[in-house]
Amino acid sequence: MDSRRRSASVATAWAESQVILPTGRRDSIRNLLLSLRPREWTKNLLVFAGLLFGQRLLEPDAVGNAVAAFVTFCALSGAMYIVNDVMDRDADRRHPIKCRRPIASGALSVSLALGVAAGLGALALVASAAIGWRFVAVAAGYVTLITLYSQRLKHIVIIDVLTIATGFVLRAMGGAVAVHVEISHWLIVCTILLALFLALAKRRHELTLLSDGAFTHRKILNEYSANLLDQMISVVTASTLLSYMFYTISPETEQRFGTPWLWVTIPFPLYGIFRYLYLVHRRDGGGSPADLLLSDGPLIVCVALWASTVALLIYAPRS
């Protein structure tokens, strides 16, 4: 009961901080920006994985392409968030947090939102042609996948979280093709497992936050239970950590980077995942991975130390 009370108070405080009432053009712009969910754009940092692990971090042209890919996916994901909010507006009105979103609350008109989403998405796809046709194909695949998710796939048990995870993989693949490096099978495996971990944790948060009202908000939640999700999370957690461990100690990795020491980064994902599970189970977190990444100090430090240690090991001069 205390956990539910704490969840409700957190949800109420967050919702009150997000509500914006329509009073003019300036507020319409603010509501549009909120609907683009810039806080969620941290997910698009995955596009830099190819730059880092493809050993092109010190090449200005590659960095420029990676930044362009990041901006493109920010625009596309923002447009897709608007489309999703339009389709979910009726269900969102029955959610203690999502009911305050601009589209669900009526602060932003559906026609204006869809017009901006279509224009932004089209502009991003056209501009992405400067990066290369392979990147355009990945970006278009991402838009198609998320559109299908918003329309149908989110309502199919297990397929819903697999689709979310595939969206993360497409981000990583887009970053790799943007800087013209090979799409490693390790990149795909580690990304999809980590993304599944986050997606399942989010489903668990929704289920526990809404409790008996979960089904009225999102019908697919009726197909899950906290126990089932905990079992899935346990499987994915172990798989994610083992995959990363095997990656760091594999002869292929040692040969590619010229160092046998990448295994020293293993404690960072161990701590990061365990910290995330702690926040999910003891602090009622997990509803938004981006919010946790931006607000939890230990997680921020962990990710920063991991990235800097990996970069140091990969790019340190060899004697």
pLDDT surpassing 60 at residue 307: yes
Amino acid identity, position 318:
R
Is the pLDDT at 76 greater than 90? The verdict is yes
Give start and end residues of each alpha helix (H) in 95-225.
102-105, 110-127, 133-151, 159-178, 185-210, 214-217
Could you say which DSSP state residue 266 is in? T
269-282 b/e with 16+ CB inside 10 Å = b?
bebbbebbbebbbe
Distance CA 91, CA 94 (A): 6
**DSSP element (H, E) containing 292:** helix 289-295
State the Cα angle at 43 between 11 and 147, rounded to 5°. 85
The whole-angstrom separation of Cα 134 and Cα 46 is 17
pLDDT digits (tens, 9 = 90+) for 141-170: 999 999 999 889 999 999 999 999 999 999
Beta carbons within 10 angstroms of residue 80's beta carbon: 23
- Length of the chain in terms of residues written: 319
CA atoms within 13 A on the CB side of 111: 0
CA distance 103 to 99: 9
Between CA 41 and CA 116 the distance in angstroms is: 18
What pLDDT does residue 17 have? Answer: 39
pLDDT tens column, 210-219: 665 555 656 7
Nearest C-alpha neighbor of 14 from the set 113, 99, 132: 99
| pLDDT at residue number 157 | 93
Distances (CA, A) of 262 to 25, 193, 251: 52, 20, 11
Q: Give the sign of the dihedral formed by CA 144, CA 87, CA 46, CA 225.
A: negative
pLDDT at 77: 95
* Lowest mean pLDDT segment, chosen from 55-59, 213-217, 236-240, 309-313: 213-217
Whole-angstrom distance, CA of residue 205 vs CA of residue 287: 5
The model's pTM: 0.85
How large is the angle between the packed helices 185-210 and 226-249, nearest 10 degrees?
160
- pLDDT tens-place string over residues 42-57: 899 999 999 999 999 9
Report residue 152: phi and psi, to 5°.
-140, -45
Split at pLDDT 50, 70, 90, the class of 287 is low
More confident residue, 177 or 288: 177
